[in-house]
Copies of this chain bind each other. A is one copy, B any other.
Amino acid sequence: MNTLNVNKIYYGDSLFLLADSNVFPDDSIDLIFTSPPYADKRITSYGGVHPNKYVSWFIPIAAHLKRILKPRGSFILNIKEHPLEGERQTYVIELILELKKQGWLWIEEYCWYKKNCFPGKWPNRFRDAWERCLHFTKRSDFSMYQDAVRVPIGDWSTKRFKSMSEQDYIRYISKNNKHMTRNVSNWLGKKTVNPHNVLVFEEEHFLYPSNVIESATQCSNRNHSAPFPLELPSWFMRLFTEENQVVLDPFLGSGTTAAAAILLNRKYIGVEIIPEYRTQIENCISEVESLKNGRKHYLIR
């Protein structure tokens, strides 16, 4: 029977693994979130793909993704083209056009604004502080759970104390920023507004208690070329899936997408081609799972 095995990591090439309709049946995935390896002029031994071949490398994989994604599901592609010889490369915007030719709808381009981006100084450009989160779907009536990502009204930094009770304020100050044990439902119940398409994760401990965040960022930062914080996949999971639905990351890397799915009570499926990541992924998942099951924690939804 074509049944989807969830909470499982496959080690191999997405191009071949996702082709197996016995393992990945049609219309079975609720959300695909991934941050694929960036194009790189250097040798392709470490998962890098040559810029000139990036589109032709990605499109056959995207065909599989389109097959296995549910009709109302979403595909989020987190990517940013690097500069090459002083210019921004064009493979990402070419990929958008090709994905549309493949039948995908290009719904939106979210901007992930990384306020504390990698430092650096060059004569012809500033630091790159944002990445694209491209949203593709199969149908225009895709599923979207907007209420799950509503944010407190107005400027968070200036107004949150106003909406907090006196007791919460005192408790917050006394904690000295290191432990946000205050229950998030305190401010969640206050007036909230819809977000917009620029994602800024001001507070590192926005969604999760500090112990979860610390071990998750630790396991996602080590030895990985393109780490992203837990908040990024979490935000899209809350927006495009409900609990117990299935999230796929065909380029899992160090396992951040799986960790986010666990913490949000979603099912995960990951594919990773580089075998050296295996230990990292397994450590990350077991650590997050034990944290989730063993200790008191606060989660939104």
Is A194 touching B124 in the complex (CB atoms < 8 A)?
no
B-side contacts of A86, CB under 8 Å: 105, 107, 140
A interface size (C-beta, 8 A):
38
With A97-B94, A113-B111, A124-B142 as given contacts, are A106 and B87 in contact (CB-CB < 8 Å)? yes
Q: Which of A97, A117, A126 has the most CB of B within 10 A?
A: A126
For the complex, is A185 an interface residue (Cβ under 8 Å from B)?
A: no
A193 to chain B, nearest CB (A): 9
In A123-153, the 8 Å CB interface with B consists of: 123-130, 140, 142, 144, 146
For the complex, is A196 an interface residue (Cβ under 8 Å from B)?
A: yes
B-side contacts of A19, CB under 8 Å: none
A109 to chain B, nearest CB (A): 6
Cα distance, A194 to B129, chains bound together (Å): 11
B-side contacts of A125, CB under 8 Å: 107-108, 197
A101 to chain B, nearest CB (A): 11
Q: Which residue of chain B has the shortest Cβ distance to A108 in the bound complex?
A: B125
Q: Which residue of chain B has the shortest Cβ distance to A195 in the bound complex?
A: B126
In A66-99, the 8 Å CB interface with B consists of: 83, 85-88, 90, 93-94, 96-97
A271 to chain B, nearest CB (A): 28
Is A108 touching B130 in the complex (CB atoms < 8 A)?
no
Is B127 touching A194 in the complex (CB atoms < 8 A)?
yes
B-side contacts of A123, CB under 8 Å: 144, 146
B-side contacts of A107, CB under 8 Å: 86-88, 124-125
Cα distance, A268 to B279, chains bound together (Å): 61
Is A90 touching B97 in the complex (CB atoms < 8 A)?
yes
13 sampled A-B residue pairs with Cβ under 8 A:
A86-B105, A86-B140, A88-B107, A111-B130, A113-B113, A121-B194, A126-B194, A126-B196, A127-B196, A128-B197, A129-B196, A129-B197, A130-B197
Binding site for B on A (CB under 8 A): 83, 85-88, 90, 93-94, 96-97, 100, 105-109, 111, 113, 117, 119, 121, 123-130, 140, 142, 144, 146, 194-198
List 7 A-B pairs, minimum CB-CB distance, nearest first.
A129-B196, A93-B93, A127-B196, A86-B140, A129-B198, A126-B196, A111-B130
